[in-house]
Chains A and B, each alone.
Chain A
Amino acid sequence: MIRNIQSFRYLATLTMAMVLTACSVTAWAQSSPDELLDRMNYVVNVIDYEGTVIRTENGESEALRIVHKIIDGVIHEKLVSQEGSGLEIIRIGNEVHCILPDKQTVLIEDWNNQSTLFSALPSSEIRYGADYDVSIVREDRVAGRQAIMLAIRPHDEFRYGHRIWLDEVTSFPLKTEIVSIDGELIGQIKFADIRIGGNISKNALAPSMSLENFSWFRGAAGYDAVDVDTNWESTNLPSGFRVTSSKTEQLPGADAPVTHVVYSDGMATVSVFIAEKNDAKIAEKSSVGASNTYSIQQGDFQITVVGEVPAVTVQRIATSMQQK
């Protein structure tokens, strides 16, 4: 029975590969950008791959070896830093093992979401409204493969643009860039080499070293969140952003629950955290790659905005939060 299932999976994969190969070489030219992105969304969730990824952020680069394989519907992923101490991150479904070779330690974390190195975009219905244009720019070559470059361009300075290079055969994203409105590169992820599909060994997902004498630690449980109607709102929200959720969350280390309001324009997401003012200090501004934060005290509250949007956007939202 198991053998039959394996044979079926093999045939299904082979068929999918043949269909993708036959269709996509000629089909991409007739495809709309939306169709290509929808196809990318599908592919990143079902396809196995391994390769070397170069991440560039704030002008600095690092190389990561990645293996990604779906086994019985569960994402298995292994990331190995090719620099420094050789940190390894092994993901099995929602559980992540962070292996620190130099400290002979393994840290286990539960991840609630399905974040992968290449997450899917939102569905095309909500992906962008009037605030972005998407277009096919040109053919290019990435990681030794033919690619189609798409550009998602914002209409104003309150959001970033995206460039995506899709594999011509599979629509897998071989390279992605986040850019500012004036074209400045904010961050980039690209494959230097990649192998898509085929026989990716389960052993390639195993730790690269013996963990026999390692110490193991697990992170404590996550936080509680409850949906609420909040009386907080931004009075100067950039166009296109709207509330997608509002909750109260009891975050680890916080004395009291915080209100968490999420805004989205379909592409970019911005979180607003409203906490009772306390002694905890948060830098007024900070940035990590494309993520920016802005924190401000307003009366008895500390308002902190986090999002993959330009600094001007988080500042504008933070300073315009008011109680109705």
Chain B
Amino acid sequence: MGAGPVRGRMNDALKMQISAFVDGELPENESELLIRRLSQDDALREQVSEYLDIGRRMRLDREVPGMIQLRGRIAQALGDGLARPDDEPKVVGSRLMTPSTGVAVAATVAALALIGLSQIQGPGDPLLQRAVAIDDGPVIYTEPAVDQVLADQPSQMLMQYYLSHDDSSPGMGPNGIRTRVISLESRELIEVGPDPHLLPSAAAEPDEEEESAVDTP
């Protein structure tokens, strides 16, 4: 890593703050400040990257959801800093990357929480590493870093491959459910009306008569 201007040091308080964020226990206002600070201080971000990397190795290379979220938030902060008004309509690809797709982002986050997709493991800890890899120059985050940050998210294409693979695989276990849910990330979503099947009147049908359990210990 290069030796960019050091504007911050990673002290115990910051470590605790990062740990709290990763564990989902940092209040939103403090989270905002943390993200802002990390997105503006490349040296500090490098230290955080190393800190997270050490933590991950201690967990035998397992990611935790908070780490992905932290990288995503930093990526978003970096992206926001670069956005120009005339760029916005040109954003293509996943609906998740556009401002109007908060729903799908939410779906993904929720799905991650449910199915542990956060455990998708790629080589290294790429998002932060790439982001800090450019710190030899001025403290400006160039588009390639942002592109890399986005590219290292589970890609749309890979999600589609998982989905298609699942169609071809009888599979045993939860793979079907998992793949289907994670595919929400890369789906175009169309707003529709409520499904009457799930409205209270349909959902609360009277039960059929009692049947016997096969065996209930």
Interface pair A288/B214, CB less than 8 Å apart = no
Closest to B163 in A: A251
Interface pair B111/A105, CB less than 8 Å apart = no
Contact partner, B214, options A47, A55, A211, Cβ 8 Å: A47
Interface pair A113/B110, CB less than 8 Å apart = no
Interface pair A113/B93, CB less than 8 Å apart = no
B213 to chain A, nearest CB (A): 3
Decide if B39 is an interface residue (CB 8 Å cutoff). no
Per the bound structure, the CA–CA distance linking A195 and B183 in Å amounts to: 31
Interface pair B214/A196, CB less than 8 Å apart = yes
CB 8 Å contact bits of A21-56 with B (1 = contact, 0 = none): 100000000000000000000000001000000010
Within 8 A of B (CB), among A100-120: 100, 102-103, 105-109, 111-113, 115-120
CB 8 Å contact bits of A199-229 with B (1 = contact, 0 = none): 1011101110011001111111001000000
Interface pair B113/A284, CB less than 8 Å apart = no
Stretch at the interface among A130-138, A289-297, A315-323: A289-297
Given contacts A84-B114, A196-B213, A308-B175, contact A216 B192 (CB under 8 A): yes
Given contacts A60-B62, A97-B195, contact A288 B120 (CB under 8 A): yes
Q: Which residues of the partner chain A approach B161 to less than 8 Å between Cβ atoms?
A: 251, 271, 273, 293, 304, 306
Interface pair B62/A211, CB less than 8 Å apart = no
Interface pair A219/B213, CB less than 8 Å apart = no
Within 8 A of A (CB), among B169-197: 169-178, 180-181, 183-184, 186-195, 197
Stretch at the interface among B25-33, B41-49, B151-159: B151-159
Interface pair A103/B160, CB less than 8 Å apart = no
B196 to chain A, nearest CB (A): 11
CB 8 Å contact bits of A233-263 with B (1 = contact, 0 = none): 0000000000011000101111000001010
Which residues of chain B have a CB within 8 Å of any CB of chain A? 59-60, 62, 93-94, 102-104, 106-107, 110-111, 113-114, 116-117, 119-123, 151-152, 154-158, 160-162, 164-178, 180-181, 183-184, 186-195, 197-200, 203-205, 207-217
Contact partner, B164, options A84, A111, A273, A280, Cβ 8 Å: A273
Q: Which residues of the partner chain A approach B111 to less than 8 Å between Cβ atoms?
A: 87, 98
Per the bound structure, the CA–CA distance linking A64 and B115 in Å amounts to: 10
Number of interface residues of A (CB under 8 A): 109
Per the bound structure, the CA–CA distance linking A322 and B70 in Å amounts to: 40
Given contacts A10-B209, A218-B189, A288-B119, contact A87 B113 (CB under 8 A): yes
Given contacts A289-B116, A306-B162, contact A122 B170 (CB under 8 A): yes
Q: Which residues of the partner chain B approach A187 to less than 8 Å between Cβ atoms?
A: 173
Interface pair B103/A62, CB less than 8 Å apart = no
Interface pair A145/B215, CB less than 8 Å apart = yes
Given contacts A115-B180, A308-B171, contact A102 B110 (CB under 8 A): yes
Interface pair B119/A217, CB less than 8 Å apart = no
Interface pair A58/B116, CB less than 8 Å apart = yes
Contact partner, B211, options A14, A92, A167, Cβ 8 Å: A14
Interface pair A120/B175, CB less than 8 Å apart = no
Q: Which residues of the partner chain A approach B110 to less than 8 Å between Cβ atoms?
A: 84-85, 87, 98, 100, 102-103
What are 13 contact pairs spanning A and B, CB under 8 A?
A57-B119, A84-B113, A102-B106, A107-B107, A115-B171, A121-B172, A217-B189, A220-B190, A254-B160, A280-B155, A283-B123, A285-B121, A306-B162
